[in-house]
Amino acid sequence: MYTHKVQYYETDKMGITHHSNYIRWMEEARIDFLETHGWNYARLEESGVASPVVSVSCKYKKPTTFADTVDIDVCIKDFTDVFLTVGYKMYKGDVLVCEAESVHCFMNTQGRVIRISREQPEFAAFLESAKHAD
């Protein structure tokens, strides 16, 4: 689980966290999740692999405000060798405040879509084993 403390600059005039920040937190949590499992972005990029976001969806359930602590659970929802779907559940205490997912594809340094099992078989095996594991 990744924990983020809401910063003042992340809130709007009404004192509510601006919706765009949840997407930033998703990236923070995703990077932390991969690093925790031995797959940091630098390692992947050094091997010539990128994983750009191709779509994002968020369901905002409850607001957060300055100084709230948001805990983010990350899971691998789906993995198809070319596409990766990551799920996120964000909580303020026991209250679900946001449920989201991001979809990524795998590309090489020339910008071509790749099958990750060919380029990084160990990483592909990790993603497959982590899929749906909560």
pLDDT higher than 60, residue 68: yes
> Mean pLDDT, to the nearest integer, of 85-92?
97
Query: How is residue 85 written in tokens?
Result: 């779907």
Ramachandran sector of residue 12 (left: φ over 0; alpha: ψ -120 to 50; beta: rest)? beta
The pLDDT-based confidence of 134 (bands split at 50, 70, 90) is low
Say if CB 117 and CB 83 are below 8 A apart. no
Amino acid at 9: Y
pLDDT higher than 90, residue 133: no
pLDDT higher than 90, residue 92: yes
pLDDT value of position 106: 94
pLDDT value of position 97: 98
State the Cα–Cα distance between residues 72 and 58, nearest whole angstrom: 13
- Please give, one letter per residue, the 3-state secondary structure of 94-114: CEEEEEEEEEEECECCCCCEC
Q: The CATH number of the domain where 85 resides is what?
A: 3.10.129.10
Domain count of the fold of the chain? 1
Q: How many helices (H) and strands (E) does the chain have?
A: 4, 5
Q: Is 28 helix (H, G, I), strand (E, B) or coil?
A: helix
Domain span at residue 82 reads 2-130
Residues in CB range of 131: below 8 A, 6 or more apart: 76, 77, 78, 79
